[in-house]
Amino acid sequence: MDESGFDTVCGQTLSRFWEILDEAIGDLADVDLESGILTVKLDAGGHYVINRHGPLKQIWMSSPISGATHFEHDPTTGGWTGTRGEGNLAEILADEVRRETGVAVSL
C-alpha cells in the first residue's frame, strides 16, 4: 500500500472509531479525534491513544489494559492485525471498552 492509500484507510478507520465511540460512550468518556490522533479518556480512569504511524504504515494503540500495540492493515479483511499476534484492533478495542465501561460497541 502506498502512502496515500495508507492515509486514506487509516483516516477512515480512526474516523469510524471516533464516531462509534463518541456515540456509544460519550457520556462516560472524553472521545476526541484531532490531527489523526484518537484519544479516549475514560471518566472512571484510563486513557487510550490510537494514532497512525506513517513510516511503518501502522496504527499504534496505547491502552491502559493491553499496553502498547502496533497493527498493520490486512487488505484481505480490511481490518488491522497486531504485529505480534495480538489480534484485530477493532475487536481488542471493543472488548476493552466493554470491560471498562460496560457498554458493548461494534467497531
Other beta carbons within 10 Å of 84: 7
Kindly report the pTM of this predicted structure.
0.94
Q: What is the mean pLDDT of each run of 10 residues along the chain (107 residues)?
A: 91 97 97 97 95 96 96 94 95 96 96
Residues in the chain: 107
Looking at domain 3-99, which of 3.30.720.200, 3.30.920.10, 3.30.1360.120, 3.40.1180.10 is its CATH number? 3.30.920.10
pLDDT at 3: 87
